[in-house]
Amino acid sequence: MISTVNPNHTERPGLRKEIGKVGFFCLAFGAMIGVGWVTAMGPWLHTAGPLGAAIAFVLGGVLLLFIGFCYAEVTAMLPVSGGEVAYAYKAFGKKHSFLVGWSLSFGYLSVSAFEAISVGKILSYLFPEIDRWPLYTINGDVIYITHLLLAFLFVSIITYVNYVGVQNSMRFQIYLTVIFLVIVSSVVVLGFAKGSVDNL
């Protein structure tokens, strides 16, 4: 039997829904939070103080709410895969969609590099002995060979987890999110229990 294809068939192929509500929340949470605030917290606290930094976080969160509302509105209007690329294509056409796609690609690559190198810096707060073999200095920060090796290991693990399948990557993301929330919650509780308003 020979199957024929209807030339007028325009139905868009769908994607399998393999990410549940918990996995989707953890994925979005990890994408928004990241580790940038950990590495940048020191200069913020030094410049603005604890109260000033807290106010800046709140104001920044309020501003980001409006961006989130825009994404929620557009996502409901265009429930397709592709994110910003699809939205730009629908609103402005191929050329703008092409530029948006490549801009996002380079943006995510730069963020990935920052996240990777931040692993060594964060671990050095806990284990200062890993600051070995300085390689170069950029913007006053010393980059160590050990930090680069840790970054390579981190990227390799993340790449492998994503390669083996979406279910495994979701479980990994859920574990990381839970660990992160437990640590942050513990810091907040200890801050209220042991902290003092005099430190503000």
> Would you list the DSSP string of 151-176?
HHHHHHHHHHHHHT-HHHHHHHHHHH
What is the C-alpha separation between 151 and 129, in angstroms, rounded?
Answer: 17
Per-residue model confidence (pLDDT) at position 81: 82
What would the two tokens of residue 198 be? 């005099």
Per-residue model confidence (pLDDT) at position 168: 84
Structure pTM?
A: 0.69
Contacts of 96 (CB under 8 A, 6+ apart): 88, 89
What would the two tokens of residue 3 be? 């199957």
Contacts of 165 (CB under 8 A, 6+ apart): none
Per-residue model confidence (pLDDT) at position 95: 94
Per-residue model confidence (pLDDT) at position 58: 92
What would the two tokens of residue 140 be? 């006053």
- Residue range 158-166: mean pLDDT, rounded: 86
Q: Assess whether pLDDT exceeds 60 at residue 11.
A: no
Residue 101: which pLDDT band, with cuts at 50, 70 and 90? very high
Phi, psi angles (nearest 5°) of residue 83: 60, -130
Q: Assess whether pLDDT exceeds 90 at residue 19.
A: no
- Residue range 67-89: mean pLDDT, rounded: 90
